[in-house]
Amino acid sequence: MLVVMRSDATPDQVGRVVEAIRGQNLTPHVLPGATRTAIGMTGNTAAVDKGLFEVLAGVDEAIRVTKPYKLASREMHRDDTAFPVAGVEVGPRTFAVVAGPCSVENEGMVFKTAEFLLSQGVKLLRAGAFKPRTSPYAFQGMGVEGLQILKKVREKTGIGVVTELMDTEYADAVEEAADVIQIGTRNMQNFALLKRVGKCRKPVLLKRGMSATLEEWLMAAEYVLAGGNYQVILCERGVRTFADHSRNTLDLSVVPPAKALSHLPVFVDPSHGTGKRAFVPAMALAGLAAGADGLMVEVHPDPDKALSDGPQTVDFPTFAALMGRVRELAGVLGRAV
Amino acid sequence: MLVVMRSDATPDQVGRVVEAIRGQNLTPHVLPGATRTAIGMTGNTAAVDKGLFEVLAGVDEAIRVTKPYKLASREMHRDDTAFPVAGVEVGPRTFAVVAGPCSVENEGMVFKTAEFLLSQGVKLLRAGAFKPRTSPYAFQGMGVEGLQILKKVREKTGIGVVTELMDTEYADAVEEAADVIQIGTRNMQNFALLKRVGKCRKPVLLKRGMSATLEEWLMAAEYVLAGGNYQVILCERGVRTFADHSRNTLDLSVVPPAKALSHLPVFVDPSHGTGKRAFVPAMALAGLAAGADGLMVEVHPDPDKALSDGPQTVDFPTFAALMGRVRELAGVLGRAV
Amino acid sequence: MLVVMRSDATPDQVGRVVEAIRGQNLTPHVLPGATRTAIGMTGNTAAVDKGLFEVLAGVDEAIRVTKPYKLASREMHRDDTAFPVAGVEVGPRTFAVVAGPCSVENEGMVFKTAEFLLSQGVKLLRAGAFKPRTSPYAFQGMGVEGLQILKKVREKTGIGVVTELMDTEYADAVEEAADVIQIGTRNMQNFALLKRVGKCRKPVLLKRGMSATLEEWLMAAEYVLAGGNYQVILCERGVRTFADHSRNTLDLSVVPPAKALSHLPVFVDPSHGTGKRAFVPAMALAGLAAGADGLMVEVHPDPDKALSDGPQTVDFPTFAALMGRVRELAGVLGRAV
Amino acid sequence: MLVVMRSDATPDQVGRVVEAIRGQNLTPHVLPGATRTAIGMTGNTAAVDKGLFEVLAGVDEAIRVTKPYKLASREMHRDDTAFPVAGVEVGPRTFAVVAGPCSVENEGMVFKTAEFLLSQGVKLLRAGAFKPRTSPYAFQGMGVEGLQILKKVREKTGIGVVTELMDTEYADAVEEAADVIQIGTRNMQNFALLKRVGKCRKPVLLKRGMSATLEEWLMAAEYVLAGGNYQVILCERGVRTFADHSRNTLDLSVVPPAKALSHLPVFVDPSHGTGKRAFVPAMALAGLAAGADGLMVEVHPDPDKALSDGPQTVDFPTFAALMGRVRELAGVLGRAV
């Protein structure tokens, strides 16, 4: 942190900043300049609010010069993180594809989807047993029964399972049924939940909050990493903007800086990102070209009858065609699918 | 819901829409028009996704014609909701003031603040025992110990307590210590938590999510109301926009439509809304003038030493001066403080 | 500007920053610190892009420490700017009200509105002769003929006229007809237009761009001031956000910082800010309470038949009632109306 | 337009809506339904504000059922528009690349850049003679002298020129020097300028406004088309959001719906879209994969010394490497570069 004084700041005002820094158990370092004085500080500044200094008399600005996240940052971990999930490598050499229905609706459709995906070479199935729904009157997911279905499908077909955890109460049950535990966009800053999955031994797929900055997203990952779980996948799924041509604005431009600042793998979800099935394939390819390490996409045997997210869900033929394009592009970009 | 067909839609396409409506257990009503056909439907459409129809061939648009929230809507409950909180009336005839530090830091400062507030005629204290913090390395609140302090202060001074619940695990403990249970902005769509406080018998103050639409906010309230807890206060605290002159953009323009659509009381939090203490008094008065039913503001005996949110926290003299202006303006606007 | 080096920056990298600063005709000042080096610079840094330094090797961040605007800033001009407009004082001691129809529709309705306004003690009329319309097929305003009507109404009634200039071509004509030249939100960064009105001798009302930061808004004002026209009024009229409960999000929270950073008067336009007439009065009062120096509001003899902006336009009785509340509140807040 | 009445609307209220429709010179069509009445209308509704009906008693909602743009819409023009620019085909079969410095700085650097681009097979040069700058104190471009340089470079090298027009005053001069006239983001709704270039005979590249919806962007194009100039290229260049990891948020998700709604070619500008040169190549490829028809990118012989936009400008080797990837990807996607 660097506190920049105004050009007309008095020595007394500088003194009070020095004192305020000491009050935070940090060591101040006064740096007099040609026109103004700057004051550096050393110690653990990660948790210090820069606003604390900015309200002091004579202060022009306080600037954070170290990143507030540690374990998630590339400074701490130069190389890209890679790890296997149910036999699929996630990391910089591959483009991992996760697909499936928004929610577990019944055993038959999950089996059918899993078998279709395996036939396409896709080894990770997404399907929610617990569903976060805007309306209390909407289908809330099959819950524990849905987890049983996922376990059965995993056993019989060998497909890996990605499913969402919404509440600490079901953490054990979801961890048992899942190969990857998904944290949804509405829970990106549900800190109790983040701390809980920090203790899980399964990888965590952390969706970006609808209005989260990159720093906040990495800080949410830091909660999981700080708990001892180092297998975190970041997943961009669209943010809230004024634009009304899509359900959310898929922010592909976050992919390059996320990968520059962090060593964690980054996935892209064009289904939630667009909200419209017609636009999913183009944005899936764009995510791959932008440098994402994986894709999460909603597919359903009969999307028009899906119990949730039907409008943004593609059918089997569309998905198969998409996978063909994905393989072609991934080949050019040097990634294995 | 009304499904508007394209002008070139075929009878066959109309037929498939009719079928899709029946597939949702609703009754279709075909309305042929001069240039195009519209298809209405009756039944419980609250939970039906309009996108389901919009993806069908020949459909131009589906329009929701009833609100998806029921209990929160003014259609169901014409009169403004009013209820007492620790002896303070919350509702359209008053302007309720809730004030206090961001977090419980120790017993002494909470007592000191409570006594100051009571001396100002303010009977509701805010202070967090559990704190949602962006960084896992930042002060996370005193937790259960903080709740004990709040209970002690409430017993000794008689002040009402507003404090945040972040996790279902502590619902009983927070309900016992609080007169109003606060749900924070990051948890506005933590549905497990909303369902849990729907079972509480204490009023709930529901902060608007950082990027929540008015409809989503009212739907979150609906979760609480649907659980049987009818005492919900909505609290605007700033939303995420491109603007960088304030920490958040305090959206006072949501107050009039919130009150038009819903009977629930609406509060305003200018501390989080601006993030800068110098701007808090002006925005508090603006909230009152915009029609808010109450104010939530951060005040601390020594804001520069606050463990959290110091930059947006006002000191005692500033707060006392603000209360003077609030009383003057409330008088003109016909509200008792 | 202060360039903060990374802690592992080499002397060579510091050297290249020093050179880059000299390359911009500025003088570098190296400030070695405990853990890292910062490099200040003196000279005219207002127009220097900080990104120029941030891309250099070893640089962590470049921080602008002086404001890029000069004439608009309070540093250059401590006291609030005040000036008369058609006999009405604009500045910190008053709350100036500008009202009228969106557009000049015909002579009769402008006269009728002017007479009504004068009967309410309102001495400034707004009405557009040139209208910026999203659609090329929509009514584009009466143009030069509309200016003639405004001149006639001004002569006969003595009311002051505020009207929009959209194109340099009509600058002379608008200046002649107007007491205040309005620059609309879509033209806030139409620099040719800003330079042109910098040469006018009539005050300029500069609406904030729909997605303009406070700094960009003040920089736009700086264009006018730098041209020699020191009578600029800033007018907040709502910004673009994800929120859908109002046409725009009226950002009242910009009023206090705008007045803190600049000496220029700040007005609020709740008509465009909300887009819905039912919410205009509440937001007008909120603007006054937030510290605005004036109000711009759309009023029409028969809003439902207005050729433009009808939905956000109030009728005469609503306006009269609003003026009553404005006077009461302004009295409490120490402003003359 | 369809006006949906509330379920409790009276026949009298329906009558007043019918009257209001007639008042707009349209023909009303009453469509009684099971639970509510809807009222359609025929005639030219493109310029009618739906808010006009929404404020009437008994009205629940008015829904626009035809697009307000005509000439820009695919309904009017099924096939993709394609046209040649300086020997380069722009349209669905190609991926057109426009590159060059932000601004014309001197003759030497423009020549050097043009020659480099031609050596890379790039036949369209971008360079601004007139520069829109946030600060009045920043370099404003070389103006007419810059146009002379562009003409000379075009003559000598044969490269096509894309350059910005900011003011109607210079329309003739820019049209003479340019093969494509660029309208910048700040002028997307400068309607005087749009009308003027509607009369030009050179293609227009229309950048999306920083906070323009897709509909507003197409309506801006409609202004040009309605003037008789049918050669319009849409160019996405990033929008304003809360995100702070990039200068703007490049909204690639607008590409598929823009191409679905309109027949006009769509380009992508990752330089302004990201604001950081390190992220330009990845986003350029992502734009191509998203379905864009062309790319506009800033390249400079020595970006660190560029007079404007240096931080987002790539150097020659980076550009050459990018072109290699572009060709590979375009091959897979079936486009010629």
For range B63-87, the mean pLDDT:
86
CATH of the domain at B227: 3.20.20.70
Report chain B residues whose CB lies below 8 A from the CB of A169.
Answer: 168, 192
Q: How confident is the model at residue C225 (pLDDT cuts 50, 70, 90)?
A: very high
Overall average pLDDT of the A256-262 stretch: 97
Tell which residue, D187, D282, D296, has the closest CA to residue D236.
Answer: D296
Per-residue pLDDT at A200 exceeds 90: yes
pLDDT band at B174 (very low <50, low <70, confident <90, very high): very high
Position C35 in a domain: yes
Q: How confident is the model at residue D105 (pLDDT cuts 50, 70, 90)?
A: very high
Contacts of A11 (CB under 8 A, 6+ apart): none
B126 with B163: CB under 8 angstroms?
yes
Q: Give the integer Cα–Cα distance in Å for A329 and A326.
A: 5
In this model, does residue C335 exceed pLDDT 90? yes
- The answer on C41 and C174 residing in a single domain is no
Domain-located, residue A30: yes
Distance CA B150, CA B115 (A): 13
Rounded mean pLDDT, B280-290? 98
Q: Do A104 and A163 reside in the same domain of the chain?
A: yes
pLDDT at C308: 86
Q: How confident is the model at residue A62 (pLDDT cuts 50, 70, 90)?
A: confident
Read off φ and ψ for residue D292, nearest 5 degrees.
Answer: -65, 155
> Is it the case that residue B259 has pLDDT exceeding 70?
yes
Q: What is the mean pLDDT of residues A288-304?
A: 96
Question: How far is CA B232 from each of CA A49, A95, B131, B161, B267, rounded to the nearest angstrom?
Answer: 32, 46, 21, 15, 11
Q: Do residues C183 and C228 share a domain?
A: yes
What is the mean predicted confidence (pLDDT) over A31-45? 73
Residue range B238-263: mean pLDDT, rounded? 96
B interface mutation test: which of D54, D61, D65, D246 has the most B CBs within 10 A?
A: D65
Taking an 8 Å cut-off on Cβ atoms, the answer to whether D38 and B2 are in contact is yes
Q: What is the pLDDT, as a whole number, of residue C237?
A: 97
Chain B positions in Cβ-Cβ contact with residue A23 (cut-off 8 Å): 305
Q: Is C71 contained in some domain?
A: no
CA distance B330 to B294: 11
Is residue A142 pLDDT above 70, yes or no?
A: yes
In angstroms, what separates the C-alpha of A158 from chain B's closest C-alpha? 31
| Highest mean pLDDT of the ranges A18-22, A28-32, C85-89 | C85-89
Whether residue C138 contacts residue C145, with contact meaning beta carbons closer than 8 Å, is answered with no
CB–CB of A28/A18 below 8 Å? yes
Task: Round to whole Å and give the CA distance between C282 and C304.
Answer: 20
Q: Are D147 and D33 in a shared domain?
A: no
Is the entire prediction scored with pTM above 0.95? no
List Cα–Cα distances, D266 to A253, A308, A329, D233, D261, in angstroms: 18, 32, 21, 6, 12
- Same-domain status, A108 and A176: yes
Contact A241, A52 (CB under 8 A): no
pLDDT value, residue A8: 83
Neighbours of B201 (CB within 10 A): 8
Looking at every residue in chain B, the average pLDDT score rounds to 93
Tell me the β-bridge partners of A126.
A162
How far, in Å, CA of D42 to CA of A326, rounded? 46
Under an 8 A CB cutoff, do C273 and B253 touch? yes
CATH number of A47's domain: 3.30.70.1140
B65 at A interface, C-beta within 8 A: no
Q: Is position A69 within any domain?
A: no
Q: How confident is the model at residue B34 (pLDDT cuts 50, 70, 90)?
A: low
First to last CA, chain C: 43
Residue A34's pLDDT band, with cuts at 50, 70 and 90, is: low
As a whole-number percent, the residues of chain A with pLDDT over 70 amount to 98
**Confidence band of B218 (pLDDT split at 50, 70, 90):** very high
pLDDT digits (tens, 9 = 90+) for A207-244: 999 999 999 999 999 999 999 999 999 999 999 999 99
Contact between D286 and A289 using a beta-carbon 8 Å cutoff? yes
For residue B65, which residues of chain D lie inside 8 Å, CB to CB?
4, 36, 60-61
Which helix (H) or strand (E) element contains residue D267?
Answer: strand D266-268
Which chains are within 8 Å of C by 3+ CB pairs? A, B, D
Q: How far apart are CA A142 and CA A103, in angstroms?
A: 8
SS3 for C327? Answer: helix
Mean pLDDT of B133-159: 94
Q: Which two tokens stand for residue C257?
A: 């910082």
What are the helix (H) ranges across chain D?
11-23, 51-54, 107-119, 144-157, 171-177, 191-197, 214-226, 255-261, 270-274, 280-290, 316-333
C207: pLDDT confidence band, cut at 50, 70 and 90? very high
Same domain, A210 and A296: yes
- Which of D245, D247, D268, D332 should we substitute to test contact with A (largest number of A Cβ atoms within 10 Å)? D245
- Which residues, numbered 280 to 299 in chain B, qualify as contacts with chain C under a Cβ-Cβ cut-off of 8 Å? 282-283, 285-291
Query: Are A180 and A262 contained in the same domain?
Result: yes
Residue C106 belongs to some domain of the structure: yes
Tell me the pLDDT of chain A averaged across its residues. 93
Instruction: Calculate the average pLDDT of chain D.
Output: 93
Q: What is the pLDDT of residues D200-252, one digit of tens each?
A: 999 999 999 999 999 999 999 999 999 999 999 999 999 999 999 999 999 99
Per-residue pLDDT tens digits for C103-130: 999 999 999 999 999 999 999 999 999 9
* Pair (C297, C258) in one structural domain: yes
Q: Does residue D93 share a domain with residue D34?
A: no
Q: What is the pLDDT of residues C59-103, one digit of tens each?
A: 888 877 567 788 998 877 889 999 999 999 999 999 999 999 999
- Residues of B within 8 A of C332 (CB-CB) are 325, 328-329, 332
Q: Note whether B226 contacts A136, CB cutoff 8 Å.
A: yes
Contact between chains at A310 and B226 (C-beta distance less than 8 A)? no
State percent of chain A over pLDDT 90.
75
Domain that holds residue D6: 2-63
- The reply to whether B17 and B89 lie within a common domain is no
Q: Within chain C, where are the H helices?
A: 11-23, 51-54, 107-119, 144-157, 171-177, 191-197, 214-226, 255-261, 270-274, 280-290, 316-332
Quick: pLDDT tens for D142-158. 999 999 999 999 999 99
pLDDT at B127: 97
- Number of structural domains chain C divides into: 2
Residues D153, D14 within the same domain: no
Instruction: Outline where chain B has alpha helix (H).
Output: 11-23, 51-54, 107-119, 144-157, 171-177, 191-198, 214-226, 255-261, 270-274, 280-290, 316-333
Of B63, B93, B116, the last residue of a domain is B63
Tally of residues, chain B: 337
CA angle C100, C105, C111 (to 5 degrees): 55
Q: Say what the alpha-carbon torsion angle B7, B12, B16, B19 is, to the nearest 10 degrees.
A: 120
Please indicate, yes or no, if residue C68 is contained in any of the structural domains. Answer: no
Helix, strand, or coil (residue A186): helix
Residue D175 within any structural domain of the chain = yes
Tell me what pLDDT residue C120 has.
98
pLDDT at A23 over 80: yes
pLDDT cut 90: percent of chain C above it: 75
pLDDT at C70: 84
pLDDT digits (tens, 9 = 90+) for C176-206: 999 999 999 999 999 999 999 999 999 999 9
Residue B74 inside a domain? The answer is no
- Each residue's pLDDT tens digit, A91-110: 999 999 999 999 999 999 99
Please, how many CA atoms are within 13 Å of residue A271, restricted to the half-sphere of its CB?
27
Strands C294-298 and D2-5, sheet pairing: unpaired
Three-state SS at C188: coil
Average pLDDT, chain C: 93
Shared domain for C175 and C310, answered yes or no, is: yes
Q: Which residues of A touch B46 (CB under 8 A)?
A: 135, 137-138
Q: Which residues in chain B have their CB less than 8 angstroms from residue C273's CB? A: 253
Whether the ipTM is more than 0.90: the answer is: no
Strands (E) across chain A are located at 2-5, 27-32, 37-42, 59-63, 83-85, 88-90, 96-100, 124-126, 160-164, 180-183, 204-207, 232-236, 266-268, 294-298
β-bridge mates for residue A180, sequence order: A162
- CA C279 to chain CA centroid, nearest Å: 21
CB C130 within 8 A of CB C167: yes
Burial of C132 (C-beta count, 10 Å sphere; 0-12/13-18/19+) = middle
Q: Quick one: average pLDDT of C119-148? A: 94
Q: Is A222 on the interface with B (CB under 8 A)?
A: yes
Mean pLDDT along residues B260-287: 96
* B236 DSSP 8-state letter: E
Residue of B nearest to D60 (CA): B65
**Probe site for chain C from D3, D49, D174 (most C CB atoms < 10 A):** D49
Q: Residue D33: pLDDT band by 50, 70, 90 thresholds?
A: low
Q: How confident is the model at residue B313 (pLDDT cuts 50, 70, 90)?
A: very high
Neighbours of chain D (3+ CB pairs under 8 A): A, B, C
